[in-house]
Amino acid sequence: MKAIDMTHGQRLAAALLMEKQGGSFAGHIARAFYVADSTNAKLLLTAFDELFCRYYDLHCMNMEHDTQGEDA
């Protein structure tokens, strides 16, 4: 999946994790995403596709882990 194809909620989940767990650069990209208009948000998602996708995948793994912990 490309970042541009994610829902807004998926993009936001990636950005939140980028800000919390990423380094300084990832955090700055996340904060830029929060305040970007639609044109600039698309530019960020295209330019930093790999970053958004990586952190969304981490978000999904964290959610899976949390759900599995509840079943135990």
> Looking at residue 69, what is its pLDDT?
61
- Please give the pLDDT value at position 66: 75
Instruction: Print pLDDT tens along the chain (72 aa).
Output: 999 999 999 999 999 999 999 999 999 999 999 999 999 999 999 999 999 999 999 999 999 887 776 555
Q: What is the pLDDT of residue 34?
A: 98
CA 19 to chain centre: 9
* Domain of 26, in residue numbers: 3-71
Number of structural domains in the chain: 1
- Looking at residue 6, what is its pLDDT? 98
Written as one string, the DSSP assignment of 3-68 is GGGS-HHHHHHHHHHHHHHS-HHHHHHHHHHHH--HHHHHHHHHHTHHHHHHHHHHHHHHHHHHHH
**So what's the pLDDT on residue 53?**
98
